[in-house]
A and B are shown apart, each in its own frame.
Chain A
Amino acid sequence: MAWLSELGRRCWMLIRRRQFDADLEEEMCLHLELKEQELVRAGLAPSDARYAALRRFGNAAALKEKSHMAWGWERFEQLVQDVNYGVRAMLRSPGITIVALLSLALGIGAITAIFSLMDALMLRSLPVKDPGRLILFGDATWSGISDGFPINQLTPIRSIARCKRRTRCSRK
């Protein structure tokens, strides 16, 4: 359950990240000011105190970034930025965008049409039960369609099998 509430907190931060950054900024400012006041009380000149406080605080911008990144959304935020940038770049040159979109659409459409035809003709197995047991019956050139057999020779296959089982003679 701990991970669930953690996820909740992370999402909450994502929604309110502006506020979050402002809070952090305010917090760090207060820290610096209080430190400065403390150093002034300790006898430093006010201008020196400011720099001393900053030195002891460390790289504020980097620390802010680190705090922000701790919430684990930087990948997502970068993605949003990239998409934003991409859309703006496309809107800047609409002609090229339309040509690119059209060629993509036509290309994908054509490929899909060809593939669905080939899929139905060559890849998909026939819609019968156990298609592996189908046999090609008749002259191969006609792909199973043949009128080379008189009707009285076309004994139903099942009865041939029964006959074979009974006599076990066909190959001897």
Chain B
Amino acid sequence: MHGYEIAGSIQHISENVLQVEEGSLYPALQRMLIKGWVKAKWGTTAGNRRARYYQLTTAGRKQLETELSQFERVIGAITRVLQTA
């Protein structure tokens, strides 16, 4: 996916709940490129325009798993706190 598609899909999947400042996607993508979590390749869009397509790498997938488990731990803790309140 290229940057625009990524921003669009975040918005679409979250049903417009998550509306980030779209441009802030690009610094984040750069940081992920440095870490080797994604790799980028230039391609052409359906409208015949040059675009940089990003793809998750193996290292990126592994990082995603650790981040997810971290996230689930925090969410679980918050849920438990809210339930007792």
Contacts and interface: CB of A to CB of B under 8 A. Distances in A.
Interface of B: 2-4, 7, 19, 21-24, 26-27, 29-31, 33-36, 42, 45, 49-52, 59
A63 interface: yes
Interface bracket on A: 20 to 34
B31 A70 contact: yes
Contacts, number: 68
B33 to A, nearest CB: 7
Contacts of B51: 27, 30
Given A31-B22, A58-B21, A67-B27, 9 more contacts: A28-B23, A28-B26, A30-B50, A30-B51, A31-B7, A57-B23, A58-B22, A66-B27, A70-B30
A63 B27 contact: yes
A58 B19 CA distance: 12
Contact of B27 (A2, A26, A30, A70): A70
B36 A23 contact: no
Contacts of B29: 67
Contacts of B26: 24, 27-28, 63-64, 67
Interface in A27-66: 27-28, 30-31, 34-35, 56-60, 63-64, 66
A35 B4 contact: yes
B30 A71 contact: yes
Interface stretch (A4-12, A122-130, A139-147): A4-12
What's the dominant secondary structure at chain A's contact region? Answer: helix
Contacts of A59: 23
Contacts of A28: 3, 23, 26
Contact of B52 (A10, A27, A35, A66): A27
B22 A57 contact: yes
Contact of B22 (A5, A30, A56, A72): A56
A30 B53 CA distance: 12
Nearest to A65: B27
A6 B4 contact: no
A34 B50 CA distance: 12
Contacts of A58: 21-24
B41 to A, nearest CB: 12
A133 B33 CA distance: 66
Contacts of A64: 26
A70 B49 CA distance: 26
A5 B49 CA distance: 31
Contact of B4 (A30, A60, A66): A30
